[in-house]
Homo-oligomer: A and B are copies of this chain.
Amino acid sequence: MPVPQSDLDPAIAARLRRTADGLVAAVVREQSTGDVLMLAWMDDEALHRTLTTGRATYWSRSRQEYWVKGETSGHHQLVRGVAVDCDGDALLVTVEQVGAACHTGAHTCFFTELPVQGVKEDA
């Protein structure tokens, strides 16, 4: 699969294992609380912009455009660290979140718990 054109450091680009759409998953975690806030997607250029501007920038699959988190909402994500996983298909982005991460106004996008059977509190 072709590597997308971008200004991303080639040494970093070489680590990435992209989907057919040229994307890697970005898990976003809040530095101060450790909460997992959301999952978004980056292509090489979104990662380049995130690493060089310190503002979390994603690729919107629905709108097919770059998306600086908070650009319209004001709910920016100030990037404190980015790590790539062992097989290069996921990033862990550590941020300070301004306001709510979720477009619903919730602190995190993961607010709907599913029932798990067999959970033992003391196991």
| Known contacts A15-B112, A115-B51, A123 near B86 by CB under 8 Å | no
Cβ-closest chain B residue relative to A104 = B86
Task: State A4–B111 Cα separation when bound (angstroms).
Answer: 25
When all copies of this chain in the complex are counted, the total is 2
Whole-angstrom distance between the Cβ of A24 and the nearest chain B Cβ: 9
- Do B82 and A111 touch across chains, with their CB atoms under 8 A apart? no
Chain B neighbourhood of A79, CB < 8 A? 116, 119
Whole-angstrom distance between the Cβ of A75 and the nearest chain B Cβ: 14
Can you identify 13 A-B contacts, CB atoms within 8 angstroms? Answer: A27-B27, A36-B36, A39-B85, A50-B116, A51-B115, A53-B118, A54-B118, A80-B119, A83-B114, A85-B109, A86-B103, A86-B106, A90-B109
